[in-house]
Structure 1
Amino acid sequence: MKTKVVYVKSTFPSDIDSVFKLLTNVKTLQYIASPYASFKIIGEDKELIWKEGQTFSFLFKMFCFIPYGTHTIKIINFNKDGIYTNESNTNVPIWNHRIKLIDNGNGTTDYSDEVEIGAGWKTFIVWLWADCFYKHRQRKWLKLIKTRKAVK
């Protein structure tokens, strides 16, 4: 199956430890995804903990109201340098996501999302949506970091 790649990079005004701590909380994913998408964990009523080897399934809704199947996330790597997941959805069988974090040494962190998408004939359409989605996510990340700094 042919795939397309989305790549989006930003510099966050926060140290790498703070960014990584936010990444460990599923509520961060839910916040930065909205309103492009919503993720509700299936079959768990305890706090989700991201770690290597874990697999989680979510009810996925586009724009927080259009059901778009079950989205499964298998965590391959999860550490402060970055995260790599093999993901898939009922409608998108290939959604491999790499988050890379680079400590700039000056209190800022380079953050990038690289996502390989394969969805058969829908690949281009899904890629267009994903490109907008990941740009949106990084804008929400910046808003979240600035808000947290203002509160401190």
Structure 2
Amino acid sequence: MVRRLTFKHSYPVDADRLFAMAIDLDVLEAVSRPWLRFDHLPSGPAQVGQHIDVALSPLGVLPAQPYTMHVVTCDRAARLLRSEEHGMGITRLVHELQVEPAGTGALQVDRVEIDAGWRSGLVALWVRTLYRRRHRAMRQLLVPA
């Protein structure tokens, strides 16, 4: 059964800066730790057409499993990223990330569609937890030193 999730998070930064951080694979790795460990994740911003083959380890202690991300859209002008992903028992995961100005900051909206067969509910629960944690970690990255 396919599950659809939407997450909306506000950040106290300019929308262009937030989008630049949202598509940066180094930031993805930083905000995912320790809940998710990436092996073989490239560095730098995501690029249209990029196929990213990694191994993921939930909590960094479970055995790493193959996972593939394909960047379908990465439009800086529209501040829109769309990826299609699969692996670790997930048949298809579509992630769409949109950043828009909101008052003095920016709003990031993540839409995630999950097809993992009978596991879709469990994966959706994991994704909810992970995105809440990523939001907290992103806010910490944005705190001035």
Query: How many angstroms does 1:21 deviate by?
Result: 2.1
Q: How far apart, CA to CA, are the structure 1 residues paired with 2:122 and 2:100?
A: 31
- Whole-Å separation in 2 of the counterparts to 1:76 and 1:129: 24
* Structure 1 residue runs without a partner (length 5+): none
Checking the alignment, whether the CA contact within 8 Å between 1:68 and 1:91 is kept in structure 2 is no
| Matched letter for residue 63 of structure 1 | L
Q: Which amino acid in structure 1 is aligned with residue 132 of structure 2?
A: K
Counterpart in the other structure of 1:77: 73
For the Cα contact (< 8 Å) 1:9–1:113, is it kept in 2?
Answer: yes
Give the alignment's Cα RMSD to 1 decimal.
1.6
Unaligned runs of 5+ in 2: none
Counterparts of 1:82-93 in structure 2, within 5 Å, are 82-93=80-91
Q: Map 1:47-58 onto structure 2 (within 5 A).
A: 47-58=43-54
C-alpha spacing 1:49/1:14, structure 2 compared with 1 (3 Å): closer
Alignment of 1:60-71 (within 5 A): 60-71=56-67
**Cα distance in 2 between the residues matched to 1:100 and 1:114:** 9
Aligned to 1:31: 30
Q: Secondary structure at the match of 1:67?
A: coil
CA distance in 2, matches of 1:58, 1:87: 11
How much identity, in percent, do the aligned residues show? 20
Q: 4+ residue runs of structure 1 moved beyond 3 angstroms?
A: none
Match of residue 11 from structure 1: 10
The code of the aligned residue for 2:7 comes to V
Instruction: Give the Å deviation of 1:67.
Output: 2.1
Q: Which amino acid aligns with 1:33?
A: S
What is the number of equivalent residue pairs in this alignment?
A: 143
The secondary structure found in structure 2 opposite 1:35 is: coil
